[in-house]
Amino acid sequence: MSKTLVIAEISGGRLKKTTLSAVAFARQAGQPFDILALGHDLGAAVEALRGYGAGAVKVCDHPGLKDYVGEHYTPTAAQVASAGGYSVVVCTASSFGKDLAPRVAARLGAGLASDISGVVRDGATLRYRRPMYAGNALGTMEVTTPVQAVTVRQAEFEAAAPSGGSSPTEAVAFAPSALAGRVEFLGFDEVKSERPELTEAGIVVSGGRSLKSSENFKNVLEPLVDALGAAMGASRAAVDAGYVPNDLQVGQTGKVVAPKLYFAVGISGAIQHLAGMKNSKTIVAINKDGEAPIFQVADYGLVADLFKAVPELTQAVLQARREQN
Amino acid sequence: MKILVPLKRTADPDNANKVKVSPDGSRVTTDGMEPKLNPFDEYAVEAALRLTENGKVRIAGDSLTVCTFAPKEASQTLRQALAMGADNALLYVTDDAQLDGDLVARALAKVVGDTKPDLVLLGKQAVDGDSNQVGQLLAEYLQWPSATFAMSLDLAQDKKTLVVGREVDGGVVRLRLTLPAVVTVDLRIVGPRAVTNHVTPASFTYGDTARFAPLPAIIKAKTKPLAEAPLASLGVDLGLKSRYTAYALPAARKAGVKVKDVQELVQRLRTEAKVL
């Protein structure tokens, strides 16, 4: 029987929720699956991974895997995949999975289906659906090699819920990299935030170039973000202008989100941005240009000056919250 | 310092909604869309130029080669990179349908073997297929150190190591790579201070995007070397590891309503959409 190997994403010993989208894929692919945990001091993460119905949780807990570096992770991941005879190796298409999966694929001689939005089984064949051209076309593809590598789009594979039970764990050997001496991890400058992660939030509020400055992001947009308990995003134009860091970018080449409620504030709605948010359940657009393309995808459009409308909306949300409590 | 920048010609990403699918769903067509240099590859060319010049002119002994795997018409895209300042170009002629990311990576490994660069610099993804894989595959095939999603590059004075800032979820990871290496670039690599080579004076400031080639540079680019050869001449196995079997257009999202003020918006979000 064919089996799937899910590579878990673990950062600083903590299991990242992204992993659960890859687990959701493994369930949909309709064949038994194991999970591979790579890192150091993995106790808590491994314990968490045991509750999802995997045949086994394979664990390589090694100081050489403390910080993620593609060259350091690839040999062990490929060795486990190949020794276990897995036909599918899957990661979630976070910056971790996008970096690691192609490397493991190359080492296994596997074809890669990247950033897929769906999977369908047809007999022994898995067909993958993936957005292309900034989401303006959907391709159906097959991987023709005996072993296949896949990365799944987090916004399209809802995080798997625990299934109960407790998968057995199995220690696997660390395979050192021949490149270890030529890639040195210097550090991770983490951007700390109290807000939910963009790809995991139920509500996302994104700002565009019309906000005009990083101060306005802080003073005008952030109060609304926090009143809603939302994650903050931005258009590429706002990122390019330096108002906010690139990891807040929602779009084709940034994060793809599909929250239940999405606010596009001062965003015109370039194709690039729509690709990252048009699958949101309810979309609200606030823009002073009534002809802006964003209104073509918005469920609710408000043609207004954002500097007036956003503070007003923030107050109304706070008021509504008070009434609910 | 010898840099190789692989390029891809893509259909105009600003008009990506003009992509069409044939009635039988077998093909996706970009007819009528202007071919453009993939924006991330354009940024890779810009970053490569900043690494190999002193702010104004090329550092003696440094060079920049660009290459692509595409139909003959892609020579225009290579000329664009030559006009920006690349020295020479290689066009391996093939049909787009005969390629997948894996074949591109294996063919690139052959080009690297022939041209022996110190650094391969490329975009993190092409904006047509959006696969984000060639750089990672190439690094593994070459067994070279690599870094994806670069937002900063700092080339050591001895040109033996490169410190790369990688834009990842939740922050920036810094890696030191021993050359030769493969690096894929993200948006911010064209920031005014994103690229440091310890030759360009600290007082020199770049713009915040890829450079625009002036007319004399475009004319000069016409005489720069551009070699053409069939893809098969690289001696690479032309087999593919994946294939597309069908295409479709996504369901269109219908426009909703315009509300008159914030009060109506909040009221509808609460009672109609029930999301507040």
Place of tokens 């915040």: B208
- Please tell me whether residues A157 and A208 are part of one structural domain: no
Q: Is A112's CB within 8 Å of B241's CB?
A: yes
Digit-coded pLDDT (tens) for A41-81: 999 999 999 999 999 999 999 999 999 999 999 999 999 99
Of A145, A190, A253, the CB nearest to B125: A253
Confidence band, pLDDT 50/70/90 cuts, at residue A321: confident
Q: What is the pLDDT of residue A278?
A: 92
**Shared-domain flag, residues A127 and A54:** yes
The string of pLDDT tens digits covering residues B68-94 is: 999 999 999 999 999 999 999 999 999
Domain assignment present for residue A157? The answer is yes
Residues of A with CB below 8 A from B133's CB?
A: 102, 105, 112, 114
Asked, for residue A283, whether it belongs to a domain, the answer is yes
Give the pLDDT confidence score for residue B244 in this predicted structure. 94
The answer to whether residues A165 and A34 belong to one domain is: yes
Write out chain B residues lying below 8 Å of A320, CB-based.
266, 270, 276
| Cβ contact A134–B16 (<8 Å) | yes
> Do B36 and B10 touch, CB atoms closer than 8 A?
yes
Report the number of distinct structural domains present in chain A.
Answer: 2
Give the 3-state secondary structure of residue B103. helix
* Lowest mean per-residue pLDDT among A156-170, A242-256, B40-54, B128-142: A242-256
> Rounded mean pLDDT of A156-175?
96
Using DSSP, state whether B116 is helix, strand or coil: coil
A236 close to A206: Cβ distance less than 8 angstroms: no
Over residues A117-143, the pLDDT tens digits come to 999 999 999 999 999 999 999 999 999
pLDDT at A324: 77
Question: Do A70 and A138 fall into the same domain?
Answer: yes
- Residues A71, A116 within the same domain: yes
Least confident piece of the model among A109-123, B150-164, B211-225, B251-265? B251-265
Instruction: Name the residue in chain A with its Cα closest to that of B256.
Output: A299
Task: Note the pLDDT of residue A177.
Answer: 95
State the pLDDT at residue B184.
98
pLDDT at A1: 64
Task: Choose the final residue of a domain: A125, A150, A182.
Answer: A182
Q: A134 and A51 share a domain?
A: yes
A46 occurs within a structural domain? yes
Question: For chain B, which domains are there?
Answer: 2-271 (3.40.50.620)
- Residue B144 predicted with pLDDT over 70: yes
Q: Please compute the mean of the pLDDT values over residues B135-157 and round it to a whole number.
A: 98
Domain assignment present for A190: no
Q: A133 with A235, same domain?
A: no
Can you tell me the distance from the alpha carbon of B2 to that of A190, in angstroms, rounded to the nearest whole number?
33
Over residues B154-195, the pLDDT tens digits come to: 999 999 999 999 999 889 999 999 999 999 999 889 999 999
The answer, for A318 touching chain B at a CB cutoff of 8 Å, is no
State whether A152 and A210 are in the same domain.
no
One domain for residues A154 and A282: no
Q: Which residues of A touch B258 (CB under 8 A)?
A: 290, 295, 300-303
Residues 6+ apart with CB under 8 A from A57: A34, A35, A36, A37, A46, A49, A50, A167, A168, A169, A170
Which residue range forms the structural domain that includes residue A135? 4-182
Residues A150 and A34 in one domain: yes
B217-B223-B226 Cα angle (round to 5): 110
- B123 pLDDT higher than 70: yes
Does A72 reside within a domain?
yes
Q: Is the CB of A183 less than 8 angstroms away from the CB of B163?
A: no
Q: Output the six-digit token pair for B92.
A: 């391996």
Please tell me the predicted confidence (pLDDT) of residue A16: 95
Q: What is the mean pLDDT of residues B225-234?
A: 98
**A325: pLDDT strictly greater than 90:** no
Helices (H), A109-190: none
Q: Is A180 on the interface with B (CB under 8 A)?
A: no
Residue A11 has pLDDT above 70, yes or no: yes
CATH code of residue A266: 3.40.50.1220
Can you spell out the DSSP letters for A192-256? Answer: --SSPPGGG-SEEEEE-GGG-SHHHIIIIIHHHHHHHTPEEEE-HHHHHTTSS-GGGBBSTTSB-
Mean pLDDT of chain B: 95
Within this chain, do residues A216 and A162 fall inside the same structural domain, yes or no? no
Reported as type and span, the H/E element at residue B258 is strand B257-259
Take residue A39 and report the two structure tokens written for it. Answer: 């890192």
Round the CA-based radius of gyration of chain A to a whole number and report it.
21
Q: Which two tokens stand for residue A19?
A: 């992993």
Residues 6+ apart with CB under 8 A from B63: B1, B2, B3, B52, B87, B88
Cβ of A182 under 8 Å from any chain B Cβ? Answer: yes
Q: Are residues A130 and A224 in the same domain?
A: no
Q: Is residue A57 part of a domain?
A: yes
**A298 in contact with B at a CB cutoff of 8 Å?**
yes
Task: Tell me the shortest Cα–Cα distance from A172 to chain B, in angstroms.
Answer: 22
Does residue A173 form part of some domain? yes
Average pLDDT over residues A107-114: 97
CA atoms of B203 and B222, how far apart (whole Å): 33
For residue A14, the domain's CATH number is 3.40.50.620
Rounded average pLDDT over A300-306? 97
Of B13, B128, B177, the CB nearest to A183: B177
What's the pLDDT score for residue B255? 78
Q: Which of A105, A188, A261 sits opposite B275 (nearest CB)?
A: A261
The percentage of chain B sitting over the pLDDT mark of 70, rounded to a whole number, equals: 100
